[in-house]
Amino acid sequence: AFDTLIIGGGPAGAAAAIYSSRKGINTGVAAERFGGQVSDTMGIENFISVPKTEGPKLVAAMEEHVKDYDVDVMNLQRAVTFTPAEHEGGLHQITFESGATLKSKTLVLATGARWREMNVPGEQAYRNKGVAYCPHCDGPLFKGKHVAVIGGGNSGVEAAIDLAGIVGHVTLIEFMGEMRADAVLQKKLNTLPNVDIILNAQTTEVTGDGSRVNGLNYKDRTNDEIKYVALDGIFVQIGLVPNTEWLKGSQVEMSPRGEIITDGHGMTSVPGVFAAGDVTTVPYKQIVIAMGEGAKASLGAFDFLIRH
């Protein structure tokens, strides 16, 4: 059995693996796809001390760093069930899609999250070519340009306010007849001179010139007319979905949005089970934050081990 078994191989899982193995304990990492969301990222310009890098490059560096240590890395392993220890300090069990099972005294759950997609033609083809999901990450790439933000919830309106300070013009597109964001955010948005809002609009297609986004089509839901907006970029802000479907019905306490709730040491409601990164309720989903949270959760797990 492992002392600490980490589920997930994104920035949170990689950081947890390095911190655990440096304590000289028996450490394993099982991930569906080592690298996580970073594998799907083009430019990264906010990873402190590295002014500019690319996702696959950062993933390779993370993997190399983990492999410097005596960590059992099990890639292409999808966890499907979690069975908690029968008594505090006992062994937890994880079952994988392959049928394999692993046991460990402590766990770090770091299965991350995924952006909810619009699922319209052109979205995949122009991903990273104008279609973006993270304003903190990609906002500066659209300096002075015209972008749309899809979604009038809190994250969409926050993104629109944030982007309005960087880009030339922001068009916010909301499906319903009104926005769901907090009133204070909507009020702030309405004071900005370079923002316009289109309500009752269902995005139907992302258009492009073959290499980059050049606009989108939407259906005006009041009269079913299809309309076109010329754009340089599209930020999709319709939700971030935590990868916790496999934990539903388990004893791990989650928020109504399915994010794992942790305490100040990264421990979940199940003793000895920790969680870190985008899969948790931690605000602001970013690489540096996920790495810090992963380090914290594995130190929390180590503390737990020396007390049991």
Mind telling me the catalytic residues? 134, 137-138
For the window 99-128, what string marks contact with ligand FAD as x by the rule CB under 6 A? -----------xxxx-x-------------
The smaller minimum CB distance to ligand FAD, of residues 115 and 302, is found at 115
Report the alpha-carbon distance of residue 125 to residue 106 in Å, rounded.
41
Q: CA nearest 274: which of 253, 249, 300?
A: 300
Least spacing, CB of residue 288 vs ligand FAD, in Å: 6
Stretch that binds ligand FAD, among 34-42, 63-71, 206-214, 300-308 (CB under 6 A): 34-42
Least spacing, CB of residue 78 vs ligand FAD, in Å: 4
Q: Binding to ligand FAD (CB under 6 A): which residues in 177-236?
A: none
Q: CA nearest 304: which of 35, 41, 90, 40?
A: 90
Stretch that binds ligand FAD, among 167-175, 186-194, 215-223, 281-289 (CB under 6 A): 281-289
Least spacing, CB of residue 297 vs ligand FAD, in Å: 10
The smaller minimum CB distance to ligand FAD, of residues 148 and 197, is found at 148
Check if the beta carbon of residue 55 is closer than 8 Å to that of residue 6.
no
Report the alpha-carbon distance of residue 20 to residue 147 in Å, rounded.
43
Check if the beta carbon of residue 234 is closer than 8 Å to that of residue 67.
no
For 198, residues 6+ apart whose C-beta sits below 8 A from its C-beta are 171, 172, 173, 174, 218, 229
Q: Are strands 225-230 and 71-75 parallel, antiparallel or unpaired?
A: unpaired
Let me know the angle formed at the C-alpha of 247 by 280 and 266, rounded to the nearest 5 degrees.
Answer: 30
**In 10 A of CB 297, how many CB atoms?**
34
The smaller minimum CB distance to ligand FAD, of residues 80 and 176, is found at 80
Q: CA nearest 122: which of 38, 203, 225, 239?
A: 203
Q: CA nearest 231: which of 159, 131, 128?
A: 131
The smaller minimum CB distance to ligand FAD, of residues 9 and 152, is found at 9
Stretch that binds ligand FAD, among 118-126, 129-137, 177-185, 212-220 (CB under 6 A): 129-137
* Token pair for 187: 């009020």
Contact between 243 and ligand FAD per CB under 6 A = yes
Task: Report residue 26: phi and psi, to 5°.
Answer: -75, 110
The smaller minimum CB distance to ligand FAD, of residues 40 and 205, is found at 40
Q: Binding to ligand FAD (CB under 6 A): which residues in 44-83?
A: 44, 46, 78-79
Stretch that binds ligand FAD, among 25-33, 58-66, 140-148, 228-236 (CB under 6 A): 25-33
Residue from 31, 150, 160, 163 in contact with ligand FAD (CB under 6 A): 31
List of residues contacting ligand FAD (CB under 6 A): 7-13, 30-34, 36-38, 40-41, 44, 46, 78-79, 110-113, 115, 133-134, 137, 243, 246, 277-279, 285-288, 290
